[in-house]
Structure 1
Amino acid sequence: MSLPDLAAVLVEVRRRAPLTHCLIGAVTAPVVADGLLAAGGRPMMTSTIDEAPALVRSADSLLVDLAALNQETTTAIMPTVAAARYAGMPWVLDPDAIGVAPVRTALAHNLIRLRPAAVRGNASEIRTLAGGIGGSRGADSTLDSRTVVDDARRLAASTNGVVVVSGMVDVVTDGDRVVQLAGGDALLARVTGTGCLLSGLVAACAAVASGFDAAVAAVAMMSAAAEMAARRSTGPGSFKVALIDALADLEPAALQTRMQTPTPVPVQR
C-alpha cells in the first residue's frame, strides 16, 4: 500500500489557503474557525437559507456538521450541498450525535445518498450510518473505532468516498485501503468541538488533495497538534489554546514521520 505524502498536503493547504464553507452550530463554530485559520485554511460560516447556497459557490470545499442543529441551518443544508455538488467541490459530512436524535439521523441518511467526499464521525455514528445500531450517548461513542472497520468500509464503498472513524485509534478507509493511526491526547475529548475541527481539517485538505490522502493528512495533523498542545498545557482550558497554536506550528517534515510505521488492516474479501 502506497503511503500518502502528508507533508505535501500540509504544504499545499498553506500555499493555497482553501476556503471551507462550514454549515455548523454556534457552539463549535469558533474552535473550527480558529483551527482552520491556524492550519492555513480559511473558514466561512454562513448557514442561512437565503445566503449559504449562493455563497458556497465561492468556496473550495464544504463541511456539513450536524452538531447543534437549529431550524434555519437544517433548512439550508440540502440546497447548499446541491450547490456545492453542482460546482464540483468536495464536501464532508460530520453526522454528529446521530442515532437517537430523530431529525439529524434521518437527515444524515439522506445526505449519505448525495455521496460526500468524506464522512468523519465516531464509531457509534459510523455504525449507525452504515445501517447498524450505534449505541451512542449524545455526541459520545460507546464503541471502539477498531470494532467498526467493516462498517466504515461498507459506508465508504457505498458513497465512493472516504470514511474517518475517530477514537483512541483513528481509522481511515476508502473501502479498499484501511489505515489505523494512533496518537493524539485524551484532552481532545475534554474540549468541545475538537471532532468538528477534525472534520473541518478533512474538508480543507480535500480541497487540495485526493480524498484518502486528505483524510489521513487531517488525522495526522490533529494528532500531532494534540500531542504538542498536551506538552504545553496544564488542563483543558490551556490545551484548547495550545491546540490552535500547535496547528500553526506544525512542521510538514515532522508530520510525514507519522506515516512511516502505519498499522494497515488486512482487507477481507
Structure 2
Amino acid sequence: MQQLLWPLVQAVRTQSPLVHNITNLVVMNNTANALLAVGASPIMAHAHAEVAQLQTICQALVLNIGTLDEYWVEAMLQAAAAANALGRPWVLDPVGAGATAYRDDVLRQLLALRPTIIRGNASEILALARHHTTATKGVDSTAASTEAVTAARQLSAQWGSVVCVSGETDIVVDGTRRADIANGSPLLTRVTGMGCSASAVLGALAAVAPPFEAAVAGVALFSLSGELAATGAAGPGSLQVRLLDTLHSLTEAEFTAHLRLRVW
C-alpha cells in the first residue's frame, strides 16, 4: 500500500480541497494552519444559517467536540446531515469521549449519522464503543492504541466508519483491513491540538481518496511530519513551527525513507 499513499498527499497539494471545520475553540488556529500547510483550504464556521449550505462548496467536513455547547452541537448535526445528503466525507474527532454524560449523548447523535472516519485516542475509542475498561483523563489517553483495536473494529462494523486510534503506534481499521503506522514523537503530546490537527488533515485526504486509504495517508503524513519536526526541536514551541514547515515541504524521498507502515 505504501506506494499508493504519496500520490494522495500530492493530490491534496494540487487539488487544494475545501475542508469545513466545526472544531473546538482551543485549536482553531492550529487546525487551519495544518490544513493550509498540507495544501488544503480551511473554512471555520458554525452558524446555523450557513452550515448546511457550506457543504455544497466544501469537499469534506471535520467535526471536533472538544469545546461543546448546545448551539455548536446543533450546527454539527446539521452539517453532518447535509454532508451525508451530498455524499461528502466527514470526520469525527470524539474529544473527551466518556468524560461526561452530555458528551457521550452528543456522540451517540453524531454516530447515528455514520461518520466516514472516526479518529481518537485509545481511551476515546474505548469509550465510544462503550468498552468501559479504562478511565478517561480529560482529552488524554490512559490506554495504549493496541488496547483499543477490538473497540475500533466494533465501531467500524456498527457504523461503517474507518476508525483511527492514535498512540505510540497509530492504528487504522475498517471492516477487513488494519494498518499500523509507527511514526511520531512523544513531544507531540506536549502541544495542544496535535490530535485535532491530525483529524483535520484526515479530512483533507478524505476529500481526494477512499476512506481507508485517506485515513492511512493522513495519519502517515501527520505522524511522520511530527517525527521529523521533533528532530532538532528545542521544545514544544519550536516543534509547532517545525511541524507546519514539514507538513508543507515534506518530499516523496523523505516520506518513503522514514515511513514505518504495516498493513494486515
TM-score by length of 1: 0.93
Structure 2 distance, partners of 1:64, 1:104, is 13
Structure 2 distance, partners of 1:105, 1:232, is 40
Structure 1 distance, partners of 2:258, 2:173, is 17
Tell me, yes or no, if the aligned pair for 1:5 and 1:256 is still in contact at 8 Å: no
Matches within 5 A, 1:64-143: 64-133=63-132, 134-143=134-143
- Cα distance, 1:52 vs. partner? 1.6
Counterpart residue number, 1:193? 193
Name the SS for the 2:175 alignment partner: coil
Change in CA separation of 1:90 and 1:196 when aligned onto 2, cut-off 3 Å: same
Counterpart residue number, 1:212? 212
1:263 matches 2:259: no
AA aligned opposite 2:173:
T
Structure 1 distance, partners of 2:242, 2:257, is 22
Structure 2 distance, partners of 1:258, 1:157, is 32
Structure 1 distance, partners of 2:14, 2:161, is 25
Name the SS for the 1:128 alignment partner: helix
- Of 193-202 and 68-77, deviating more is 68-77
AA aligned opposite 1:213:
E
* C-alpha distance after superposition, 1:191-210 (max 9, x if no partner): 11000011001111000011
* C-alpha distance after superposition, 1:121-152 (max 9, x if no partner): 00011111112114111001111000111111
AA aligned opposite 2:99:
V
- Of 98-107 and 22-31, deviating more is 98-107
* C-alpha distance after superposition, 1:24-46 (max 9, x if no partner): 11211110100000011111000
Tell me, yes or no, if the aligned pair for 1:205 and 1:214 is still in contact at 8 Å: yes
- Of 126-135 and 165-174, deviating more is 126-135
AA aligned opposite 1:31:
N
Tell me, yes or no, if the aligned pair for 1:18 and 1:204 is still in contact at 8 Å: yes
Structure 1 distance, partners of 2:17, 2:160, is 23
Q: What stretches of structure 1 of length at least 5 have no aligned partner?
A: none
Structure 1 distance, partners of 2:207, 2:256, is 19
How many percent identity over aligned positions? 38
Structure 2 distance, partners of 1:117, 1:212, is 9
What is the count of residue pairs matched by the alignment? Answer: 263
Name the SS for the 1:115 alignment partner: coil
Structure 1 distance, partners of 2:177, 2:77, is 30
Tell me, yes or no, if the aligned pair for 1:61 and 1:204 is still in contact at 8 Å: yes
Q: What's the C-alpha RMSD, in Å, of the aligned pairs?
A: 1.5
* C-alpha distance after superposition, 1:107-129 (max 9, x if no partner): 11221121111000000111111
Structure 2 distance, partners of 1:252, 1:44, is 28
